[in-house]
Amino acid sequence: MPAPQHRQSRITGALLRWYRRNGRALPWRRENDQYRILVSEIMLQQTQVRRVLELYPRFLKRFPTFRSLANARTSSVIRAWRGMGYNNRALRLQQTARTILQQHDGKLPGTVETLQQLPGIGRYTAHALVCFVFGEPVPVVDTNIIRVLSRLFPRAISRDRSGKVNVEAVWTAARSILPRQNAYRWNQALMDLGATICTSFNPQCDRCPVTAFCPSAFRIKKRSPGTKKVEPGREGIPNRLYRGKVVEVLRNVNGRRFLSFSHLAKQVKPNYGERDKRWLRGILHGLERDGLIATKRRGSTLLVSLPE
């Protein structure tokens, strides 16, 4: 156990009371529809909440059900994902919708193990769906919860020499302290605390409902962001941003389904030169391998489009 029972009980009570007054009023928390909750969880994987709040209703208006998403053209799904980033998620979401229709009678499976077999659903998302869709008392561990629990229970959750948290220890702690009768609210409360108060840098310990129980309180207030990991890229711009730019250019093609390689290159990188040719072809190869674009030859000209 990461904490004596009385301390754990007081933490639970304090956090749930805080959540009752201060929990974020997010639209997917008012949903009972499993498809809509799934869409929100996939969107939230790598996109900030404020962006999801803007784009979530638009996507649902375009694709309101598993069937409408499964039957859509992939190019339409990618276009509807505009502004979300990490476009692979749109493909995985559509593949999941198709799998649910074909193998699960149009219903989201209700176990962590089965959910993790679906495209784009990993350990966190599977647990979140089991808790938030089916109401099962399972722990949910995302980045915010890792941070909150590792600060609340530093003795139970080890770190390596670089300071990186042992994620398995977080899952173990999350499972042991889970209030089974309030699992839904508890998991949402932990996420909200991490997102709004117990933040990565300069946490607001003076506003935290569990400061009195936290050994880390006020000890990390002046930490600053470390050096960012250098990503592969071109002229200081990461390749992932160029990948997104390629997809965005193809989203905006008017009247023509395909763009020539040379036309696309100039739109993706205005100062494109012959020295960039091999690099850009590598970007396109990766996108095609991931199913985000399609290419074909017309004579010596390479043509690029969104997939059908």
pLDDT tens per residue, range 99-120: 999 999 999 999 999 999 999 9
Instruction: Identify whether 84 is part of a domain.
Output: yes
Give per-residue pLDDT as tens, 207-232: 999 999 999 999 875 555 555 677 88
The residues, ordered by sequence, that sit 6+ positions from 222 with a Cβ below 8 Å of its Cβ are 202
pLDDT in the model for residue 256: 65
Q: In 3D, which of 50, 115, 118, 116 has the Cα closest to residue 84?
A: 50
Indicate whether 292 and 198 sit together in one domain: no
pLDDT in the model for residue 1: 46
Q: Which amino acid is at 158?
A: S
Give per-residue pLDDT as tens, 270-296: 999 999 999 999 999 999 999 999 999
- Please state the rounded mean pLDDT for residues 186-193: 98
Q: What angle do CA 253, 243, 69 make, to 5 degrees?
A: 65
State residue 298 phi and psi, 5-degree precision.
-130, 95
- CB 305, CB 293: distance < 8 Å: yes
Instruction: Identify whether 219 is part of a domain.
Output: no
Q: What angle do CA 184, 52, 13 make, to 5 degrees?
A: 25
pLDDT in the model for residue 65: 98
**Last residue of one domain, picked from the residues 161, 180, 213:** 213
Query: Cα–Cα distance between 238 and 205 in angstroms, integer?
Result: 35
Indicate whether 240 and 144 sit together in one domain: no
Query: Cα–Cα distance between 210 and 149 in angstroms, integer?
Result: 11
State residue 14 phi and psi, 5-degree precision.
-65, -40
For the beta sheet containing 301-305, the strands, ordered from the edge strand earlier in sequence to the opposite edge, are 259-260, 301-305, 294-298
CATH of the domain at 294: 1.10.10.10
Please state the pTM of the whole predicted model: 0.89
Indicate whether 99 and 152 sit together in one domain: yes
Instruction: Identify whether 222 is part of a domain.
Output: no
**Last residue of one domain, picked from the residues 147, 181, 213:** 213
Indicate whether 252 and 201 sit together in one domain: no
- CB 5, CB 179: distance < 8 Å: no
Q: In 3D, which of 207, 179, 188, 145 has the Cα closest to residue 11?
A: 179
**Last residue of one domain, picked from the residues 157, 179, 213:** 213
Instruction: Identify whether 167 is part of a domain.
Output: yes
Indicate whether 151 and 288 sit together in one domain: no
Indicate whether 15 and 152 sit together in one domain: yes
- Please state the rounded mean pLDDT for residues 223-249: 83
Indicate whether 170 and 241 sit together in one domain: no
Instruction: Identify whether 297 is part of a domain.
Output: yes
How many percent of the chain have pLDDT more than 70?
Answer: 95
- Please state the rounded mean pLDDT for residues 258-274: 94
Q: Is the pLDDT of residue 7 over 90?
A: no
How many percent of the chain have pLDDT more than 90?
Answer: 82
Query: Cα–Cα distance between 40 and 52 in angstroms, integer?
Result: 8
Cα of 190 vs its chain's centroid, Å = 17
Give per-residue pLDDT as tens, 14-39: 999 999 999 999 999 999 999 999 99
Count of structural domains within the chain: 2
- Residue of 41, 54, 235, 288 with catalytic role: 41
Mean pLDDT value across the chain:
93
Where do we find the tokens 């998620």? 89
Indicate whether 134 and 259 sit together in one domain: no
Indicate whether 51 and 178 sit together in one domain: yes
Instruction: Identify whether 227 is part of a domain.
Output: no
Beta strands 237-238 and 294-298 are unpaired
Instruction: Identify whether 24 is part of a domain.
Output: yes
Instruction: Identify whether 223 is part of a domain.
Output: no
CATH of the domain at 177: 1.10.340.30
41 belongs to the catalytic site? yes
- The whole domain housing 69 covers 5-213
The helix-helix angle for 167-177 and 143-152 (nearest 10°) equals 80
Q: Is the pLDDT of residue 129 over 90?
A: yes
Where do we find the tokens 């198709």? 98
